[in-house]
Chain A
Amino acid sequence: MSFPWAKEYTPTTEFGQWMDKQLPLPRFVYNSVGAGYPAPRNLNYMWNFGSLAGLFLVVQIVTGIILAMHYAANSGIAFDSVEHIMRDVNSGWMIRYAHANGASFFFIAIYLHIGRGLFYGSYKAPREMLWLLGVVIYLLAMATAFMGYVLPWGQMSFWGAKVITGLFEAIPLVGKPIQELLLGGFAPDNAALNRFFSLHYLLPFVIVGVVIMHIWALHIPGSNNPTGVDVKGPQDTVPFHPYYTAKDGWTIGLALIFFTALMFFLPNALGHADNYIPANPLSTPAHIVPEWYFWPWYAILRAFTFDFLFIPAKLLGVLAMFSAILVWFFLPWLDKSPVRSGKFRPKFKIFFGILVIDVLILGYCGGAPAEEPFVMISQLAAAYYFAHFLIILPLLSSLEKPEPLPNSITESVTGKPLKTAS
C-alpha cells in the first residue's frame, strides 16, 4: 500500500462503484491480497508458511465449532462425549481427527514461519511491530492448544493441566493462591474444565483479531524478501494476485496432502496413548509429556535441577521457560546488525544453523523421559539457546563483517546490475 506504483483499485461495474462508495471492502481485499499489493518478486518457498498457518487456523476454527456442537464440557461426561463423537456422530471421527492433527500442522507452519523470520531478519526495522504481533499470536496459540488438550479429559489432559498450572505455584508468596484461582479448586476438576473450554473457544477469535493486525502491520512496509534489500521500484515486485495467490494455492494443496495423509492413516501418531484412558486423579501416568510442539520449552523447564542461592530450581525453570519465548519480544533490539538477511552474514549463518539443531535437540529431550543423559543434554542445549539470543546475537551485530549486498532485488534475481531502472 505504501508503494506509489501499486495498482489503484478501479471498479468497472456500476455496482462496484456503488459498493466502493458505501463500503470499500472489495478495494480493501484488492489492496491487501489482490493485484493492488506489490510483493517482492524473489520470495522463496519459506514465505509460504504464513498463508499455511492461516489455512490451519481456519481448519481449527471450523472443525472446533463443529466439535463444540457435540462435546460436553463436564468432567463426568467429557471423555464419553468425545467417544460419542468418534463412534456415533456422522463423520465425527473425521472432524475430531482433523482438529487433533490440525493443531500440529498449525504449529509446524508457525515454527517454519518463525524460523523464516529469524533467518531473513524479518523482525528488523521497519517490521518490529509485525514481529511483536507474531510473537503475541504464538503465545495465544500455545495457550489455546494447551487448553484444548485438556478438553478430552483423558489422563494426559488431567495431568497436563495439573503440571502446567503447577508452574504458577513456583511464584513466591502468591503462587499457591494463583494456582487455585486458575483451577477453581485444588486440583483440575469440573470448574477448570469448564473455564478451559470457554477460553479455548474464545482465544482462536482473539488470534484471528491479532492475525488481522499482523497482516495490517505487514502491509505498511510490505514483505521482506530473501535478500533483505528494500524494494526499490516496480521492477522489483509482482502483483500479489495472481502471482502469490497461485504460489500459495498450490502449496496449500501440498500441505493438505501431508495433513490428510496423517489424519486418515496415522491419526494418533502425534498423540499420546494415555489420553485414551479417562482422567484419574489418583494415578499419574508413568511419563507425562506435553504435545510435541511444547517439547523444547518443556526441556528448558526441566533443565534447571539446582537451586541458585535463594531461588529454587523450580522457579528458575519456570522463569527460564517463559524467558525463552519472551526474549523474542526484545529480538529487534538485541540484534542490531544493519543487514537483514542471514544470506549475507557468514557467521550468523553458522550460529543460526546451530540454533536450529539446538532447538531440535531440546525438542527431543523434552519428549524423552526425565532421565540421564537427556537432562544433561538439555542443559547444554538450553545454555546455547539463551547464549544465542542474549549473548551471541548482540555481540555478532558489532563483530561480524557482512558480505556485500546486491543493489536491488532485480539485480539479485538476474545477476545483472540495475542500470536500466526507470
Chain B
Amino acid sequence: MATVETAETAVAEEGGVRRRDFINIAAVSFAGAGAVATVIPLVNQMNPSADVLALSSIEVDISAIESGQSIKTSWRKQPIFIRNLTEKEIAEANAVQTSELRDPQTLAERTTAGKENWLITLGVCTHLGCVPLGAAQGEIKGEYGGYFCPCHGSHYDTAARIRKGPAPKNLEVPEHEFLSDTVVKIG
C-alpha cells in the first residue's frame, strides 16, 4: 500500500511520466493491488463458515407450552425465550404508554398478528449480553413481571421491553414465522 502511494507522489512531483518510470510505477502498483486482493480471502475466512450458516434457522414445536409458561431454546448458539403470555400479561403490556419507554415499541409490533400471546425474544440482555432470568419456572421476573438481568440489574416488562436499569434496548425479537399453530420457525 505504502509503495503505491510513493509511486503516486513520484508522478505528481515530476508532472510528466517517462516510459521507464511508468513501467516501474505500473509494476509496483500491480504488486500492491495483488497484495490487497490476497488479503481479501485471508480475512474473509473469519466470517461464519457454511456449516454455521446452515444452522441459521430452527423449527420449534410450541404445542406443549401452557399459557403463562415459557421455554428456553437455543438458536445460533444463543438462548431464545418463547413465552406464552397470559391475558393479564398482555393487558399489562398494552397499558403502558409507549412514549414513556426508552425503546418505544408496542406488544403488537413485537409479535405476530393473531398470535399476540407468543412472545419470542433472544435471551440476551441488550446491556452486555448476559442471559436474563424469568424464562424458567421459579426465576425472578423483575419489577415489571417480564425478565430481570442479574448482571447489572436491567428490568424488562411482559413484552420484554427495557423499563429500568442500564440496558439501552428491548430484548431483540428474532425473525420468525408460524408454520402452523404449533410450529414456529426462527431465523
- Answer whether residue B46 sits at the interface, using C-beta atoms and an 8 A cutoff: yes
- Answer whether residue B128 sits at the interface, using C-beta atoms and an 8 A cutoff: no
Which of A62, A69, A84 touches B46 (beta carbons < 8 Å)? A69
- Answer whether residue A281 sits at the interface, using C-beta atoms and an 8 A cutoff: no
Q: Judge whether B49 and A89 touch: CB under 8 Å.
A: yes
Please provide the chain B residues from 38 to 92 with a CB less than 8 Å away from any CB of chain A in the complex: 41-42, 44-47, 49-52
Closest CB-CB distance, B41 to chain A, in whole Å? 4
Q: Judge whether B44 and A90 touch: CB under 8 Å.
A: yes
- Answer whether residue A417 sits at the interface, using C-beta atoms and an 8 A cutoff: no
Q: Judge whether A92 and B31 touch: CB under 8 Å.
A: no
- Answer whether residue A94 sits at the interface, using C-beta atoms and an 8 A cutoff: yes
Query: B27 — nearest CB in chain A belongs to which residue?
Result: A249
Q: Judge whether A90 and B49 touch: CB under 8 Å.
A: yes
- Given A88-B50, A249-B31, is A69 in contact with B42 using a C-beta cutoff of 8 Å? no
Residues of A within 8 A of B31 (CB): 249
- Answer whether residue A73 sits at the interface, using C-beta atoms and an 8 A cutoff: no
Q: Judge whether B51 and A90 touch: CB under 8 Å.
A: no
A91-B45 Cα distance, complex, nearest whole Å: 6
A87-B52 Cα distance, complex, nearest whole Å: 12
- Given A69-B46, A249-B27, A249-B31, is A84 in contact with B41 using a C-beta cutoff of 8 Å? no
Q: Judge whether A95 and B49 touch: CB under 8 Å.
A: no
Query: B30 — nearest CB in chain A belongs to which residue?
Result: A253
Which of A66, A70, A84, A249 touches B42 (beta carbons < 8 Å)? A66
Which of B46, B47, B50 touches A87 (beta carbons < 8 Å)? B50
- How would you classify the secondary structure of chain A's contact residues: helix, strand, loop or mixed? helix
Q: How big is chain B's contact interface, by range?
A: 10 to 19
A269-B121 Cα distance, complex, nearest whole Å: 52
- Tell me the total A-B contact number using a CB cutoff of 8 A: 35
Query: B51 — nearest CB in chain A belongs to which residue?
Result: A88
Closest CB-CB distance, A249 to chain B, in whole Å? 7
Interface string of A87-104 (1 = CB under 8 A from B): 111111011000000000
Residues of A within 8 A of B41 (CB): 90-91, 94-95
Query: B42 — nearest CB in chain A belongs to which residue?
Result: A66
Closest CB-CB distance, A168 to chain B, in whole Å? 37
Residues of A within 8 A of B52 (CB): 88
Q: Judge whether A84 and B51 touch: CB under 8 Å.
A: yes
Query: A94 — nearest CB in chain B belongs to which residue?
Result: B41
- Given A66-B42, A94-B41, A95-B42, is A88 in contact with B27 using a C-beta cutoff of 8 Å? no
A70-B50 Cα distance, complex, nearest whole Å: 13
Interface string of A25-57 (1 = CB under 8 A from B): 000000000000000000000000000000000
Closest CB-CB distance, A390 to chain B, in whole Å? 45
Interface string of A224-249 (1 = CB under 8 A from B): 00000000000000000000000001
A87-B31 Cα distance, complex, nearest whole Å: 30
Residues of B within 8 A of A92 (CB): 45, 49
A92-B48 Cα distance, complex, nearest whole Å: 12
Q: Which has the most chain A C-beta neighbours within 10 Å: B44, B45, B46, B52?
A: B45
Interface string of A56-71 (1 = CB under 8 A from B): 0000001000100110
Residues of A within 8 A of B44 (CB): 90-91
A342-B47 Cα distance, complex, nearest whole Å: 54
Residues of A within 8 A of B42 (CB): 62, 66, 91, 95
Interface residues of B (CB under 8 A from A): 27, 31, 41-42, 44-47, 49-52
> Can you identify 24 A-B contacts, CB atoms within 8 angstroms?
A62-B42, A66-B42, A66-B45, A69-B46, A70-B45, A70-B49, A84-B49, A84-B51, A87-B50, A88-B49, A88-B50, A88-B52, A89-B45, A90-B41, A90-B45, A90-B47, A90-B49, A91-B42, A91-B44, A92-B49, A94-B41, A95-B41, A95-B45, A249-B31
Interface residues of A (CB under 8 A from B): 62, 66, 69-70, 84, 87-92, 94-95, 249
Given A62-B42, A91-B44, 16 extra CB contacts under 8 A: A66-B45, A70-B45, A70-B49, A87-B50, A88-B49, A88-B50, A88-B52, A89-B49, A91-B41, A91-B42, A91-B45, A92-B45, A94-B41, A95-B45, A249-B27, A249-B31
10 nearest CB pairs, A to B: A91-B41, A88-B50, A88-B49, A88-B51, A89-B49, A90-B44, A90-B45, A91-B45, A90-B47, A89-B45
